[in-house]
């Protein structure tokens, strides 16, 4: 399994701020995480990456300490990576120099006002298009003061941006979240020696003198495992082992949802890797039925909802997803894109303002592209078509799994977008179906 994307980003950002060299094993060498590394290089940080397999690498990053970053000579372009953009905005807000942050066309359409608001309250000057809500953002940082900030939207990126700015602030910084979001930043900061405590719904950080470098292995990415989990449970004759997958409770919503749908997933013995709980997952063909989900279960599975929609397409009965309006501001409007693309494959899906409803096609079926036990089984109402993820990596991979399970041929138009989070995806996919 490739390393977790969220954790890989954070090891690079925090490793750059440590006193000494950080070693990261199973760093995810995908386009998004490379955007983070390139941004750190632009700020004067040296690093070396040794790739062992597509997307799986060892990273060595020479930390410059909390006060060692240097003013970039040019605009920093974080390309498609929202995590890089938002977390880096927090770090840049704390620097005594000027920087400009931009991204690709997709990222320039995504909301950044959510980080501009708290970082401005801390004393940084940020301005951008559309009332300071869109990239490019111009950031003049330094002289921050700690704040108490309650997140209006549950977002780990915003929480992390504020905590990272808090590293450079005077006084303590407290972030309160309405629902618990992924806590990888907090875990890493603690490992590096920062004084960070949970206080009810709040996370309280005291600005540290310095951060110790990391020696860390990144757990497998459950958001990547999601595609294989869905492929196995929705296929009539499949079994897949997924070793050392991160099972941080803020990330395991999909496991809970698939289990509610009737999926057979064995979660092996839990152990700790890189300060995170991990387990080996074993998953097999299952008779799935529809479910209704919302609230914290949706928050804990937000990135996996496109894959979950594919499982729902092959389940018996109706699946309803609510409280997922954040899907509309991901790499694409994932509610609209899922609806239009799954419809092309014959899936009965209805768009809702905050989610979607799928009438599942029923019992297990497999597609024309896939042989099971030597015999080609005929499929049902989900049929191959020409589809596109519109440059959205998670949509593309979800559509690939749908195409694998559908009857007939599916053509995916933007296959290269998988490199954003999973450069080895097509190779693994080919290995599975041969």
- The residues annotated with a catalytic role in the active site are 303
Buried b (16+ CB within 10 A) or exposed e, 323-352: bbebbebbbbbbbebbbebbebbbbebeee
Among 39, 169, 230, 302, binds ligand S3P (CB under 6 A): 302
Shortest CB 326 distance to ligand S3P, Å: 6
Query: Site residues for ligand S3P, window 172-211 (CB under 6 A)?
Result: 182
155 makes contact with ligand S3P (CB under 6 A): yes
Which range in 27-35, 154-162, 190-198, 248-256 contacts ligand S3P by CB under 6 A? Answer: 154-162
Which range in 34-42, 149-157, 279-287, 399-407 contacts ligand S3P by CB under 6 A? Answer: 149-157
Shortest CB 320 distance to ligand S3P, Å: 21
Give CA–CA dist 260/40, Å, rounded. 42
Shortest CB 153 distance to ligand S3P, Å: 7
Asked if residues 136 and 129 have their Cβ atoms less than 8 Å apart, the reply is yes
Which range in 151-159, 165-173, 264-272, 360-368 contacts ligand S3P by CB under 6 A? Answer: 151-159
Shortest CB 4 distance to ligand S3P, Å: 9
Interaction mask 321-350, ligand S3P, x per CB under 6 A: -----x------------------------
Q: Which is nearer to ligand S3P, 80 or 410 (CB)?
A: 80
Which tokens belong to 173?
């910084």
C-alpha gyration radius of the chain: 21
Strands (E), 296-390: 316-321, 348-352, 355-361, 386-387
Cα dist from 296 to 114, 304, 334, 396, whole Å = 20, 14, 19, 25
**Residue indicated by tokens 């397409």:** 313
Strands (E), 3-122: 21-28, 46-53, 56-62, 76-77, 98-102
Shortest CB 242 distance to ligand S3P, Å: 19
Q: Which residues contact 59 (CB under 8 A, 6 or more apart)?
A: 11, 12, 15, 22, 23, 24, 27, 29, 37, 47, 48, 49
83 makes contact with ligand S3P (CB under 6 A): yes
Strands 316-321 and 348-352: unpaired
Q: First-to-last CA distance in the chain?
A: 19
Among 77, 303, 359, 407, binds ligand S3P (CB under 6 A): 303
Q: Which is nearer to ligand S3P, 128 or 367 (CB)?
A: 128
32 makes contact with ligand S3P (CB under 6 A): no
Q: Interface residues with ligand S3P (CB under 6 A)? A: 6, 83, 155-157, 160, 182, 302-303, 326
């Amino acid at each position: 399994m490739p390393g977790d994307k969220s954790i890989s980003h954070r090891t690079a950002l925090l490793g750059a701020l440590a006193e000494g060299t950080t070693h990261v094993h199973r760093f995810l060498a995908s386009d998004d995480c490379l955007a983070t590394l390139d941004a750190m290089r632009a700020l004067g940080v040296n690093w070396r990456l040794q790739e062992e397999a597509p997307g799986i690498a060892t990273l060595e990053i020479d930390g410059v300490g909390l006060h060692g970053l240097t003013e970039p000579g040019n605009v920093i372009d974080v390309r498609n990576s929202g995590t890089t953009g938002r977390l880096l905005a927090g770090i840049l807000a704390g620097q005594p120099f000027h920087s400009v942050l931009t991204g690709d066309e997709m990222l320039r359409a995504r909301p950044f006002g959510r980080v501009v608001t708290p970082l401005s309250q801390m004393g940084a000057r940020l301005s951008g298009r559309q009332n300071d809500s869109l990239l490019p953002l111009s950031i003049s940082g330094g002289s921050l003061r700690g704040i108490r900030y309650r997140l209006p939207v549950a977002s780990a990126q915003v929480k992390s941006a504020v905590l990272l700015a808090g590293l450079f602030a005077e006084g303590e910084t407290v972030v309160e979240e309405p629902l618990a979001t992924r806590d990888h930043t907090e875990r890493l900061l603690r490992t590096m020696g920062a004084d960070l405590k949970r206080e009810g719904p709040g996370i309280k950080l005291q600005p540290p003198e310095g951060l110790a470098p990391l020696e860390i292995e990144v757990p497998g990415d459950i958001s990547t495992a999601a595609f294989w989990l869905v492929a196995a449970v929705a296929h009539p004759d499949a079994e897949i082992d997924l070793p050392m997958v991160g099972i941080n409770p803020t990330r395991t919503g999909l496991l809970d949802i698939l289990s509610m749908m009737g999926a057979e997933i064995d979660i092996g013995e839990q152990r700790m890797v890189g300060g995170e709980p991990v387990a080996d997952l074993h998953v097999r063909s299952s008779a799935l039925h529809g479910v209704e989900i919302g609230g914290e279960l949706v928050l804990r599975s937000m990135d996996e909802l496109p894959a979950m929609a594919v499982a729902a397409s092959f389940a018996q009965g109706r699946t309803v997803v609510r409280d997922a309006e954040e899907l509309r501001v991901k790499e694409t409007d994932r509610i609209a894109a899922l609806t239009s693309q799954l419809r092309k494959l014959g899936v009965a899906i209805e768009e809702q303002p905050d989610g979607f409803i799928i009438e599942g096609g029923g019992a297990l079926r497999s597609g024309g592209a896939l042989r099971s036990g030597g015999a080609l089984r005929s499929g049902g109402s989900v049929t191959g078509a020409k589809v596109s993820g519109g440059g959205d990596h998670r949509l593309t991979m979800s559509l690939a799994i749908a195409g694998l399970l559908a009857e007939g041929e599916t053509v995916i138009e933007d296959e290269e977008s998988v490199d954003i989070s999973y450069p080895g995806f097509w190779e693994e996919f080919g290995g599975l179906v041969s």
